[in-house]
Amino acid sequence: MRLAQGGDKKAFELLYREHEGRVYGVCLRIVSDTNRAEELTQDVFVRVWKTIASFRGESAFSSWLHRVAVNVVLVGLRTEKRYQTRVATVDDLEPFEQTDHSAPGEAIDLEAAISALPKQARAIFVLHDIEGYRHEEIAEQMGLAVGTTKAQLHRARKLLREALNR
């Protein structure tokens, strides 16, 4: 880590190889799009390369990296939302897509159910219920009111329950 802070590219490459999978996993859970998650993962490591000198070691590097990853993804979501609003009228809260299961009682893929949630509800669900962020943190990062994050989390949980009961 210290070598990477000093500009050692090989040391940074080792950090990248060690943490890339976890960063990609966080990105994928939030955006639910493999191509976008790959792009965001690269964006995270570009940001880390530029700001690694600011890491003071007060927490584990993996914790700091995780926070950078979440911030990059949320900024990406805000930017995408602004772009969609300018380009076209897009309802970000599209209806939950229902899946057709061939046999009753067939196990549902929870990741697939989460990825089928509307974008904002999915991001809030992942950050709160999977990553452990508080509503206040999510609201601040996403530029929303705390009440909105609570309502979206409730909506996400309701949609997941409905998917699991099918």
**pLDDT tens per residue across span 62-83:** 989 998 999 899 888 777 655 4
Domain identity same for 67 and 117: no
Domain identity same for 34 and 113: no
Q: What is the pLDDT of residues 47-61, one digit of tens each?
A: 999 999 888 888 889
Domain identity same for 74 and 156: no
State how far the alpha carbon of 105 is from the alpha carbons of 113, 139, 162, 166, in Å: 15, 37, 14, 8
Domain identity same for 76 and 153: no
pLDDT at 155: 92
Residue numbers of the domain that contains 115: 96-166
Domain identity same for 76 and 125: no
Q: How far apart are CA 151 and CA 95, in angstroms?
A: 16
pLDDT higher than 60, residue 98: no
Q: Look up the CATH number of the domain holding residue 47.
A: 1.10.1740.10
Domain identity same for 17 and 83: yes
Domain limit, last residue, from 44, 63, 90: 90
pLDDT higher than 90, residue 166: no
Q: Which residues contact 101 (CB under 8 A, 6 or more apart)?
A: 108, 166
